[in-house]
Structure 1
Amino acid sequence: MDDKVINEMTEKHSYDWQLKILILTWEYPPNVVGGLSRHVYGLSIHLTQLGHEVHVVTAGNGGHPAYEVINGVHVHRVTPLNNQDDNFLSWIAGLNLAMSFKGEKIADDIKFDIVHAHDWLVGTSAITLKEVLSIPLLSTIHATEHGRNNGIHTDMQRFIHEKELQLITESDQVIVCSNYMREELLTNFHLSDKKMTTIPNGIEQDDVKVDPNEIYPFIKNRKYIFSVGRIVKEKGFETIIEAAEAAKESGMDIYFVIAGKGPMLERYRKMVTEKQLDHYVAFIGYVSDEQRNALLVNSEIAVFPSLYEPFGIVALEAMILAKPTIVSETGGLKGIVLHGQTGLLMVPGDADSLLNNIDFLLQDPHRAKEIGIKGMQIVKSLYGWKRIASQTVIVMEDTLLNKRANMNEKAR
C-alpha cells in the first residue's frame, strides 16, 4: 500500500468504528530509551482523540503506577518475571510472559478488536495474545537487527533476527515508517508487499519553556551545533568527533553539543578528552524533551550523522522548530530532507562532507533561515500526529475486515 493509496483512503474513511486497541511496547513515557517510546506515546494519544479506546501494556520499574490513565490512554505497567536478570534476552522473555498475563487479564473485562505490537521485543506476547484472544495482530517494525549491524554476525543478532521474522510472519499486517524500511523488509524477510503499509512517524511542535543557558552555563554566549540521539555506533557521533578534530586543525570555530544516553557515551567522552577536543565537543548525557527543544532552538544548526536510521524522528524534532538541519543521506532520513531546500544531506560517515555542509549554512545565514522555515512547513504538513493516527486506524480497519472475510471464506 503506497502513500498515494493511503492518502486516498484517508479522504474516504469516516472513522465511525470505535475500536478497542491493545498496544504492546517495551518502553513508554516516562520510561524513554529511544524514539520508539515517543512514537507509541504520540500514536496512542491521538488514537484516543479519534474516539478509540486504547490500552498500552509496557514495562514498569516500580517507580511509576501499575495502572494510570494518561491523556485518555490506559497505561498498564508490568514487572518482568525475572526482573533482576542481567541477561537482556532472559529479561525480555520475562517481560513477554508478564505482558501476556496482563493482556489476558485486561481482556476479561474488555473485548479487544486488535493487538498492535511495536518491534520484536514484545513479539512473543503479541503472538500469544493474538491466539488467546482470537484477534488480528498488527505490528509496527521500527528497525531491524540486520540494518543496525549491516548484517547478521553473532548468535545474539541471529536470535533477534529470527524473532523479528517470527513476529512479521505471524502478523496480519505490518507497518513500516519509511520506504527505506519497506525495502529492508522486502529484502531481508521476503515479506509480501501487500502485507505492508508505509506510515511515517509523527511529530508535534512543543513550546520551549526552559533556558538552556541556565542548565548548561558552559554554552552561554557560545554559538553551537546540536545533535541528540541514543549514544550508539549507528548514530554516527564518531563522525562529529572526526569533524571537530578537522575543525581544530584548520582553525574553524565550531562547537558541537551532543545530548543522549547509551552504551557508547563514556567511550566517546574519553575520545574527546584524548584528542584534546573539550573546547569543540561536549557529550552532555540525558536531556528531557523540554531541555532538548531549548537546546535545539538556541543552536545554529542541527546535525544527525547516522550510519543507519530507519526513519529519523530526531530530524523532525529539529525541523519543526525551523532549525536548519543536516542529515545523513541514508535510510529514512534521505526521504525526509530535500537537499538545499528543506535541509542538507551529508555523506554518511564522512567528516569533510559534514564540515562542508556546516560551513555552507554558517556562511549564508539568510539561506540557512530559508531552509529552516521550509523544513518546518513540510514537517507540519506531512507529519502531524492526527494524520498519522488516522492512517493507522485505516490499516486497523482494513486488517479487521480482511480477517473477518477470511474467516467467512473458511466457514463456507
Structure 2
Amino acid sequence: MNNIFSEEVDSDCNKLINWPLNILMLCWEFPPNIVGGLSRHVFGLSTHLAAMGHEVHVLTSGNNGLQSFERMNGVNVHRVKPLNDRDDHFLSWIAGLNLAMAFKAEQLTEEIKFDFLHTHDWLVGAVSIALKESLSVPLLTTIHATEHGRNNGIHTDMQQFIHDKEQQLILESDQIIVCSEYMRESLISIFNAQDEKITVIPNGIEPLKIERTIEDIFPDLKQRKYIFSIGRIVKEKGFETILEAAAFAKEKELECFFVVAGKGPMLETYQKQITARNLDKYVAFVGYITDEQRNAFIQGSEMAVIPSLYEPFGIVALETMILGKPTIVSNTGGMKGIVTHCHTGLLMVPGDAKSLLEQIDFLMNNPEKGEEIGRKGREIVKSLYGWKRIASETNRVMEDIVLNKRVNENEQKITTNNM
C-alpha cells in the first residue's frame, strides 16, 4: 500500500475504521445443512461478526425443507436451490448452485451495497469471481482444504478440474485466509500462492453443553469404557487405522473398545469389514449423531482419537479437548500445531495402528497424567480458539481490505484530478 496519503485519504480511512461493514458470505453448506466442518465454521464466524455490529448476509444452498430466508443469530441467511437440483452429477449440481447464487446476489445488490465478498472454498468460486468483477468489490477467500491434500496428489480428471478451480480462485482473491501454517505452506508450494496474500487464522469453537449422559442415549455403553472418534467417514480421515488397531487389540486380547461416529461414503464399507473380521467386540461405527449425542459420547469416553491422514486444521480435536478429554491426534497437517505431545495431547504416526495403540496404552497406564493432559488441552483451546477471538482477527483482515480499497480509489481520484 502506498504510504503517501493526502489529507482527504487520511480522513476517509479514519471514518472507515469501526464502521459496520456490509458482508456477503458465500458457502455451499450452512446449518442446519451440515456436511462437514465448513458449515460450522461459517456459522460461528458469521454470528460473531454480526454480534460485532456488521451486517452479514450468508448466501448458501437450500432445499424444499428449508426457508429461503431467515435471520439466525443476527445473520441474514439466503438459501437458493440449484437450477438443476435433481442432477446426480456433482459438478453439474455445483454449476447450478453457482448460477442460482448469482441470480440471488444480483437481487440483493439492488438494495444493499456490499463492502466485499467472503467466499469459502472452490465450490462457490465461480460465482464469487463473477461478483467481484460485476460489483467491483474485493474478494476475501477462506481455503479450508485442497483437492491435492485430500488425495495426496492429483490423479483423476475430476481431481484436476477441482484443482484448477482452486488455482483460479486463489489467483483471483485479493486476500486469503487459511486455518494453519500447514495450509499456508500447502498453498505456496502447490499453487505458488503469494505469501503476502495469506493470513493464518485458526478455526474457532464454542463451549460444548452437556445436556444428557451417554447412558441415557446409548444404554449399551453403560459402565463400559470406550475410546471415541468422530468425523466424516472418508478415506482421508484415517479410520482404517482404528480398524487395524482393533484387530491388534483382538489378537493381543486387550480391553480396548472404539466407538466411531459420523456419516460418509465409506461407512458401509467399514461396517462390513467389522463383521467380516469379527471385530464387533472391539469397534463400532455408529453412523450419524446429533451435536447433543456427540457431546455425550465425548463426555462419557476415556479418551479421544483423531487419526486423520490429511487434516488442514482438526476442529474435531478442539471439540474433544474443550471437554477435557486426553486426545490422540495424527502428527500431520494442522493438528500438529494444536497439540504439544504429552502436554496438551498425544501425537501418533499417521496411519500407524501400533503407534496409536502405544499412545492408548500410555494413557491407560498413566491415568493421572491423562487427566493433566486433558486439563491442559482444555485450557489451551479455551484461551486460543474461542470464536470471539477468531472473529476479531478476521475483522482486522476485513478492515484492511476495505481500507486498502478506499485508499486506492482516493489515490486514483487524486491522480485523475491532477492530470
- TM-score bracket, normalised by the shorter chain, equals over 0.9
Q: SS at the partner of 1:279?
A: coil
- The alignment-based identity, stated in percent, is 67
Partners of 1:120 and 1:167 within 8 A in 2: yes
1:404 and 1:160 map into 2 onto residues whose CA distance is 33
1:25 to 2:27 alignment = yes
Q: Contact 2:208–2:319 at 8 Å: present in 1 too?
A: no
CA–CA distance in structure 2, aligned partners of residues 341 and 22 of structure 1: 40
Instruction: Output aligned runs, 1:318-333, within 5 Å.
Output: 318-333=320-335
1:79 to 78, 81, 85: 81
Letter in 2 for 1:343: G
User: Structure 2, unaligned stretches of length 5 or more?
Assistant: 1-15
RMSD: 1.1
Alignment-derived partner of residue 41 in structure 2: 39
Task: Indicate the residue corresponding to 1:94 in structure 2.
Answer: 96
Q: Secondary structure at the match of 1:349?
A: coil
Q: Quick one: distance in 1 between partners of 2:204 and 2:129?
A: 26
- 1:178 aligned partner: 180
Letter in 1 for 2:260: I
State the distance in 1 between where 2:330 and 2:355 align: 10
Offset of 1:409 from its aligned partner? 4.5
Cα deviation code 1:87-138 (max 9, x no counterpart):
0000000000111111111111111111100000000111111112111100
The offset of 1:407, in angstroms, is 3.5
CA shift at 1:25, angstroms? Answer: 0.6
Of 104, 107, 110 in structure 2, the residue corresponding to residue 108 of structure 1 is: 110
2:31 partner SS: coil
Q: Is the 2:208–2:322 Cα contact (8 Å) retained in structure 1? A: no
**Do the aligned residues in 2 keep the contact of 1:15 with 1:393 (CA within 8 Å)?**
no
Amino acid across the alignment from 1:24: L
Structure 2 CA distance, aligned partners of 1:180 and 1:166? 21
User: Paired residue for 2:205?
Assistant: 203
SS in 2 for 1:56: strand
Q: Paired residue for 1:169?
A: 171
What letter is aligned with 1:158? Q
Q: What is the one-letter code of the residue matched to 1:179?
A: E
- 3-state SS of the aligned residue for 1:276? coil
Aligned counterparts of 2:168 and 2:227: Cα–Cα separation in 1: 42
Label 1:15 to 1:29 Cα distance change in 2 as closer, same or farther (>3 A).
farther
How far, CA to CA, are the matches of 1:252 and 1:407 in structure 2? 68
Inter-partner Cα distance in structure 2 for 1:205 and 1:371: 18
5+ residue gaps in structure 1?
A: 1-13
CA distance in 1, matches of 2:17, 2:35: 32
Q: Secondary structure at the match of 1:399?
A: helix
Please report how far the alpha carbon of residue 176 of structure 1 lies from its aligned counterpart in structure 2 after TM superposition.
Answer: 0.3
TM-score with structure 1 length normalisation? 0.95
Given candidates 273, 277, 280, the residue that maps to 1:278 is 280
User: Does the alignment pair 1:119 with 2:118?
Assistant: no
Q: Residues of 2 paired with 1:147 and 1:195: CA distance?
A: 20
Letter in 2 for 1:354: L
Report the counterpart of residue 67 of structure 1 in structure 2: 69
How far 1:376 moved relative to its partner? 0.4
What residue in structure 2 maps to residue 224 of structure 1?
226
CA distance in 2 between partners of 1:84 and 1:124 (Å): 20
Q: Secondary structure at the match of 1:33?
A: coil
The CA deviation string for residues 22-66 of structure 1, in whole angstroms up to 9 with x for no partner, is 000100011000000000000000001111010001110211110
**What TM-score, normalized by structure 2, do the two folds share?**
0.94
What is the distance in 2 between the residues matched to 1:215 and 1:204? 23
Q: Which residue of 1 aligns with 2:196?
A: 194
Measured after TM superposition, the shift of residue 387 of structure 1 is 0.5
Q: How far 1:15 moved relative to its partner? A: 6.1
Specify whether residues 261 and 15 from structure 1 end up closer, same or farther in structure 2 by C-alpha distance, changes over 3 A only: farther
The residue aligned with 2:301 is 299
CA distances 1:228-285 after superposition (whole Å, capped 9, x unpaired): 0000000000000000000010010111000000000000001111110011111000
1:10 aligns with: none
Rg comparison, structure with higher value: 2
Quick check: 1:25–1:118 contact (8 Å CA) kept in 2? Answer: yes
SS at 1:86 equivalent: coil
SS at match of 2:23: strand
Structure 1 counterpart of 2:216, from 191, 211, 214: 214
